[in-house]
Amino acid sequence: MSVDPELLEILVCPNDRGELDYIEAESVLVCRSCGYRYPIRDGIPVMLIDEAEKPSSKPKRS
């Protein structure tokens, strides 16, 4: 189930008001500035900081 494109245009990250990228394959919205990942459940974005997946502070190894 996809998210309404008009809704995507007005949503911002509740953590820092950053722009969001919609990753349809993972059903998430990802903040471009802080990296928080907000789940989309049944086509509805869950824009709660407590529900967001925070970016890890550990550097990724290659």
The tens digit of pLDDT for each residue in 3-58 reads 899 999 999 999 999 999 999 999 999 999 999 999 999 999 999 999 999 998 65
Q: Which helix (H) or strand (E) holds 40?
A: strand 37-41
The answer to whether 28 and 35 have CB atoms below 8 angstroms apart is no
Q: Which CATH architecture is the domain 5-51 placed in?
A: Single Sheet (2.20)
Domain edges within the chain? 5-51
Residue 60 has a pLDDT of 56
The answer to whether 10 and 4 have CB atoms below 8 angstroms apart is no
Q: How confident is the model at residue 2 (pLDDT cuts 50, 70, 90)?
A: confident
